[in-house]
Amino acid sequence: MRKFFSAVLLLVLTVAKLGTVSLVEAEEALEVTPSVQKLIDGHERYWNEETSESDTSKERREELADGQEPFAVVITCSDSRVSPEYLFDLGLGELFVVRVAGNILDEAELGSVEYAIAELGADTIVVLGHESCGAVTTAVAKDLDPEAVETTQNIDAFLDNIEPAVKEARQSDKEDDELVELVADLNVANAMKQLETDSNIIKDAVKDQSVSILGAKYLLEDGDLQWFNQ
Ligand SMILES: [Zn+2]
């Protein structure tokens, strides 16, 4: 009987916890600051295949040689189909991009975000996951059967960072592709939390409302973005 109650409690806790990862359209999820509006408008142009407004001109390049003031930091996967400047239709000098397989945060990535916040004045941080992520799929496969996946020490360095999300998602009833997508979402949610727990600079900036943290998921085929409910 006790075991039954433990199982129910675990299920309730899991549902409550997983419930925090709800993905919605931008207008439902976000406090629309000027920076967020730029991201929304840029993505709208990309999605609608409108004429690009991204400035990659010679003039802009020369102007930026003296210094940069990117308005947002995007932490995303190295996946060749997920290029932030394209997805948000933005030009040179607008996004400070931190890319690593599985959009994980380790010390070097956190330090990069701190630099963009403290030195360059970015006021928005986006953790951008995506559908059908190879890094996430590999992390799940390795957790299900370590023997079946051949990795290297270096690859394990980012797989290990995804592992907490895998463990969390495996408490749900999701399998196969649904499990992979849940892990991808929890991995973004974990990174969003980690930005504050592992960096005093970011934590203080969020506290005094000079920086906001957003989470999003890019749908590979559809091209749409879903935003994590704040
Ligand atoms: Zn990926």
Of 222, 228, 184, 218, whose CA–CA distance to 80 is shortest? 218
Of 109, 169, 107, whose CA–CA distance to 144 is shortest? 169
**C-alpha 5 – ligand 1 centre gap (Å):** 38
**C-alpha 191 – ligand 1 centre gap (Å):** 14
- Tell me if 110 sits within 8 A of 167, measured CB to CB: no
Q: What is the pLDDT of residue 19?
A: 45
Query: Which residues surround the ion ligand 1 when the cut-off is CB under 5 Å?
Result: 77, 79, 133, 135
Stronger pLDDT, 6 or 140, i.e. the higher one: 140
**C-alpha 149 – ligand 1 centre gap (Å):** 17
Band of residue 164 on the pLDDT scale cut at 50, 70, 90: very high
Calpha distance 141→144 (Å, rounded): 5
Q: What is the pLDDT of residues 24-66, one digit of tens each?
A: 777 676 788 999 999 999 999 999 999 999 999 999 999 999 9
**C-alpha 59 – ligand 1 centre gap (Å):** 34
Q: What is the pTM of this model?
A: 0.89
Calpha distance 76→214 (Å, rounded): 12
Is pLDDT at 5 greater than 50 in this prediction?
no
**C-alpha 129 – ligand 1 centre gap (Å):** 7
| Residues pairing with 95 in the sheet | 72
Q: Give the least confident one: 11-15, 77-81, 180-184.
A: 11-15
- Tell me if 99 sits within 8 A of 113, measured CB to CB: no
Specify whether the backbone of 223 is left (phi greater than 0), alpha (psi in -120 to 50) or beta: left
Of 108, 88, 4, 107, whose CA–CA distance to 40 is shortest? 88
**C-alpha 213 – ligand 1 centre gap (Å):** 20
- Tell me if 178 sits within 8 A of 191, measured CB to CB: no
Question: DSSP label at 148?
Answer: G
**C-alpha 4 – ligand 1 centre gap (Å):** 38
**C-alpha 11 – ligand 1 centre gap (Å):** 29
Q: What is the pLDDT of residue 2?
A: 39
Q: What is the pLDDT of residue 22?
A: 77
**C-alpha 92 – ligand 1 centre gap (Å):** 23
**C-alpha 76 – ligand 1 centre gap (Å):** 8
What domains lie within the chain, and their CATH numbers? 2-228 (3.40.1050.10)
**C-alpha 102 – ligand 1 centre gap (Å):** 5
Q: What is the pLDDT of residue 27?
A: 67
Q: What is the pLDDT of residues 132-158, one digit of tens each?
A: 999 999 999 999 999 999 999 999 999
**C-alpha 8 – ligand 1 centre gap (Å):** 33
Whole-number mean pLDDT of the chain? 91
**C-alpha 24 – ligand 1 centre gap (Å):** 20
Is pLDDT at 4 greater than 60 in this prediction?
no
**C-alpha 134 – ligand 1 centre gap (Å):** 5
Tokens 């400035």 locate to 55
Q: What is the pLDDT of residues 108-120, one digit of tens each?
A: 999 999 999 999 9
